[in-house]
Amino acid sequence: MIIGGGPGGYEAALVAAQLGAEVTVVDCDGLGGASVLTDCVPSKTLIATAEVMTTFDSSYEELGIIVADDTPPMEQAARVVGVDLGKVNRRVKRLALAQSHDITASVTRAGARVMRGRGRLEGMQGLDGSRKVVVRAADGSEETLTADAVLIATGGHPRELADARPDGERILNWTQVYDLEELPEELVVVGSGVTGAEFAGAYQALGSRVTLVSSRDRVLPGEDPDAAAVLEDVFRRRGMNVMSRSRAQSVKRVGDRVEVTLSDGRVIGGSHCLMAVGAIPNTEGMGLEEAGVRLKDSGHIKTDRVSRTSAPGVYAAGDVTGVFALASVAAMQGRIAMYHFLGDAVTPLNLKTVSANVFTDPEIATVGYSQADVDAGKIDARVVKLPLLRNPRAKMQGIRDGFVKIFCRPGTEIVVGGVVVAPRASELIHPISIAVDNNLTVEQIANAFTVYPSLSGSIAEVARQLHTRKAGGEQ
């Protein structure tokens, strides 16, 4: 039995069904969960449009591209391309629903049963080791099912501040922005983590005037500091008002405007406000603690590296566990849970091989140990960072911002981490991810052929520099 149809849930269902188990997935919104319907897929679809806008703007200026119209090129306005946000958002929602339907079709083809409703655990484990799950349908009817094992994959929902409640029109959370028909003229984004930074960059590219309110010293406080510095510099150069060390205290609507009051008394005005202040796990009202499932103070479910909870026969996966809020990690947790329960070969979750990406422009991709780990002495590693400005392909494409950074062990030269800041960094991080996952050395990366010219050539060049510095002594 799987409660929740996000990546952890539907991937677990596919694995279990393929291994011959009888599987039921209980979900109230549609398979794919928030990741597909309101979070990852929609936001990245919106960002895809923003990327086109940014690419055009930079190409227009850097590469000499002009748009033919009745106005001579030199007299054209600074921005010659606009966006129909209503059309963009309709496409976003259409693609999200299509993806959800595709997932449902895949799961049912594999032999799993999909039930629409909300599930909760009922009581303790039975004498035969089974678990009871009560499914409540939208019409209020209930059905009790018995399962040998239960996977909780119910995800999370946007966190709200007491004095900044979203109204879905002017004050928005990240699930509500796709109902907008017109581009916000002045958007205040509260929160400078991954979600806040991605939306701030996207709406700026689409044409909004954006103010990003950050309670920390810099944007993306949890990311590589060099990468965050590059992105913040890009944001500021493109006209974004980045307010560091500024904590939002309240947000209120004043007519067709919003006012954001900071903790120091300053007030910021805008046409809209997007709240991006974290997420709350969907664990309330599910009977988890009564069933023996231990929760963290944050409400997340405690799990081990094979997705087991403290209750026998109960597993958990995805954002509900508080372990790396990534669809890829949720999916892996779900697969691991099913492999473990069904007695198949299983490799425990290793977070040091997880690759992640921030879909800003430029993107920030990371894998393995970080600069913070090195600085804190958690691992002894040598580091080389190479700016993309030196890369011939980057010069051809007009790319000025970004770098490649690789971490390796000083003795063995085994690659233990990396950072890429570049357009499509999400694609460029993969060779470094393979190196981290397979304990490859910088010499092995350096000796592999790369295409010339290519951005990936910088990865090989960083590896060569790391290997040369060992051979010739530290520089």
- Is 417 labelled a binding residue? no
Does residue 385 have a known ligand-binding role?
Answer: no
> Edge-to-edge strands of the sheet including 171-172?
171-172, 272-275, 186-190, 209-213, 241-243
Question: Residue 319, annotated ligand binder?
Answer: yes
CA distance 29 to 5: 8
**Is 44 assigned to a binding site?**
yes
Beta bridge partners of 400: none
Is 38 labelled a binding residue? no
Distance separating alpha carbons of residues 422 and 433, to the nearest angstrom: 16
Helix, coil or strand: residue 382:
strand
Q: Give 202-262 as a DSSP string.
A: HHHHHT-EEEEE-SSSSSSTTS-HHHHHHHHHHHHHTT-EEETT--EEEEEEETTEEEEEE
Instruction: Judge whether 133 and 150 are in contact, CB under 8 Å.
Output: yes
Is 197 annotated for ligand binding? yes
Cα distance between residue 431 and residue 456, in whole Å? 9
Whether 191 has a binding-site annotation, put simply, is yes
Q: What is the DSSP string of 106-144?
A: HHHHTT-EEEESEEEEESS--TTS-EEEEEE-TTS-EEE
Residue 213 identity (one-letter amino acid): V
198 annotated to bind ligand: yes
- Binding residue positions: 44, 119, 191-198, 278, 319
Known binding residues for FAD are: 44, 119, 319
Annotated binding site for NAD(+): 191-198, 278
